[in-house]
Amino acid sequence: MQVLLYLETLAYWDWFIAALVLVILEILAPGVVFMWLGISAGVVGAVVFMAPELDWKWQFTLFAVLAVVSIVASRLYQKGRPRATDHPALNRRGAKYVGRDFVLDTAITGGHGRMRVDDGTWRVEGPDLPAGARVRVTAVAGATLRIEAVPPD
């Protein structure tokens, strides 16, 4: 019952405090979610400052709508403008092998085999080739490298 009494007396400064707390949470645990929630709470605080008679139910509805819209808009904006990085294949380890040449340790039979690459062993797909053949990685499909034979020089 006391919660309802408090909600009915919700003022603009409550929203500003919530905005401040959410922005501080963003600083402590960055992930660009709390920031948008904090901005939404700040906007609701400004609306309540200008229209103090706004019912608490409408205040929370406005906050929820603003939070969802701002987070979705942020994600869409970021998706359309990926960050430039000096390590574009950081989380795609196999991508750095595309275009490189290797020597097969074991023969490829039935279109599948295994090949040692740097410090690991990868599953490979390609034409049947004997051990010792030079191959070039042409693509990566999950944890499988697609290879082709390299013509002799």
Alpha carbon distances (Å) from 71 to 31, 34, 36, 39, 67: 11, 9, 6, 10, 6
**Residue span of the structural domain in which 125 resides:** 93-149
Residue 88 lies in a domain: no
Residue 4, pLDDT > 70, answer no
AA identity, residue 76: L
Whether residues 14 and 70 share a domain: the answer is yes
Whether 19 and 64 map to the same domain: the answer is yes
Q: What percent of the chain has pLDDT over 90?
A: 44
Asked if 37 and 67 sit in the same domain, the reply is yes
Do residue 19 and residue 76 come from a single domain? Answer: yes
Q: What is the mean pLDDT of residues 96-121?
A: 87
pLDDT, tens digit (0-9, with 9 covering 90-100), for 35-86:
999 999 999 999 999 999 999 899 999 999 999 999 999 989 888 887 777 7
pTM metric for this prediction: 0.56
Is there a single domain that holds both residue 54 and residue 97? Answer: no
Q: Which residues, listed in sequence order, are joined to residue 129 by a DSSP beta bridge?
A: 108
SS3 sequence of 100-123: CEEECCCCEECCEEEEEECCEEEE
Instruction: Specify the pLDDT at position 6.
Output: 61
In a shared domain, residues 69 and 110: no
How far apart CA 33 and CA 18 sit, in angstroms, is 14
Residue 86 lies in a domain: no
Mean pLDDT of the chain: 87
* Count of the separate structural domains present in the chain: 2
26 and 71: one domain? Answer: yes
- Decide if 129 contacts 108 (C-beta within 8 A): yes
Q: In this structure, are 70 and 118 located in the same domain?
A: no
**One domain, residues 119 and 59:** no
- 40 plus 7 within the same structural domain: yes
* Any domain includes 85: no
